[in-house]
Amino acid sequence: MSTLVLEDVTKTYGQGANAVEAVRGVSLSVEPGGTLGLIGESGSGKSTLGRICLGAEAFDRGRLLVGGEDFAGFDRERLAEFRRRTSIVLQEPELALNPRRTLGQSVTEPLDIHFPRLPAAERHARAEHALELAHLDPGLWDRYPRELSGGQQQRAGIARAVVTEPEFVVLDEPTASLDLSVRGRILETLRELQERLGLSYLLITHDMATVSALAQRVVVLYKGVAVETGEWREVRANPADEYTRKLLSAVLRVRTTGTTDRA
Ligand SMILES: Nc1ncnc2c1ncn2[C@@H]1O[C@H](COP(=O)(O)OP(=O)(O)O)[C@@H](O)[C@H]1O
Ligand SMILES: [Mg+2]
């Protein structure tokens, strides 16, 4: 897809005494085929920005640009096209999956919505292909979410996100709910899909290993403000902002403790 840009975006929830300024003057860009990491602690405005990038959340100030075109000016046709070309993978796969629908039904659903005129056989074939892309056995087609492991549920969420052949995908904490042993394999699959399908990712996470696995550039958010933006390699090696330094050293402390505990 064309480059996706947020320019000086501000978003407030609620009004008056209840107003929460979730995002303040944030600018970012996601290049075609690239991954931008959006990192920060819980409540810093990451998911809000993810939804804004998908055109799924209104905002007070600033612009969303898709290939240089202002999203606010999209007509119905462009809007429908943008929705077909974008998707999201959520942290909690069980929330993304309807418990009363089989895996096959859940993965076919985005096609029902975005490509309703596709013949049923073609829809089925595409859904099966998406399962294979996400490394799920199509033999699991008739299983319900509760009959799948956590890793398989997350793969189902990934299959749903790619079945429409999107170009831009928001990964909102895609591995946060998973065991450490499963995490690496899911990240591997996400990287492989990016290469095979030419996807651009907005990767939302507070896990630095996840950032390292996927992102080239990062934006560090603190209380809704982008406190640092740059190449991940440089930010990690040489954080300019005090909050980024804290974030990184907190991670290092946790890692060190973890290692000691296991030893
Ligand atoms: N729908 C909403 N209504 C009111 N406040 C919200 C809503 N969504 C998020 N917020 C608030 O906006 C801030 C940022 O939330 P969020 O974007 O979910 O952060 P993150 O994903 O980094 O945890 C938080 O203070 C949160 O409570
Ligand atoms: Mg969030």
- pLDDT tens track for 216-241: 999 999 999 999 999 999 999 999 99
For residue 51, the ligand 1 atom closest to its alpha carbon is 17
Pocket test for ligand 1, best of 13, 26, 59, 203 (most atoms within 8 A of CB): 13
- Residue 1 confidence class, pLDDT cut points 50, 70, 90: low
Rounded to a whole number of angstroms, the distance between the first and last alpha carbons of the chain is 46
Length of the chain measured in residues: 263
Phi, psi at 205, each rounded to 5°: -165, 160
Question: How confident is the model over 5-31, as a mean pLDDT?
Answer: 97
Tell me the residues surrounding ligand 2 (ion) with CB < 5 Å.
46-47
Longest dimension (CA), the chain: 59
Question: How confident is the model over 172-179, as a mean pLDDT?
Answer: 90
Residue 19 Cα to ligand 1 middle (Å): 11
In one letter, which amino acid is 247?
A: L
The answer to whether the CB of 155 is under 6 A from ligand 1 is no
Going by the DSSP 8-state scheme, the letter that residue 230 receives in this structure is E
Residue 206 Cα to ligand 2 middle (Å): 10
| % of the chain residues with pLDDT over 90 | 85
pLDDT of 250 above 80:
no
For residue 50, the ligand 1 atom closest to its alpha carbon is 17
Architecture of domain 28-55+73-258: 3-Layer(aba) Sandwich (3.40)
C-alpha to C-alpha distance for 214 and 37, rounded to whole angstroms: 8
Pick the residue whose CA is nearest to atom 1 on ligand 1. 13
Higher pLDDT, 189 or 180: 189
- For 134, the 3-state DSSP assignment is coil
Looking at the CA of 171, name the nearest ligand. Answer: 2
The answer to whether the CB of 47 is under 6 A from ligand 1 is yes
The answer to whether the CB of 106 is under 6 A from ligand 1 is no
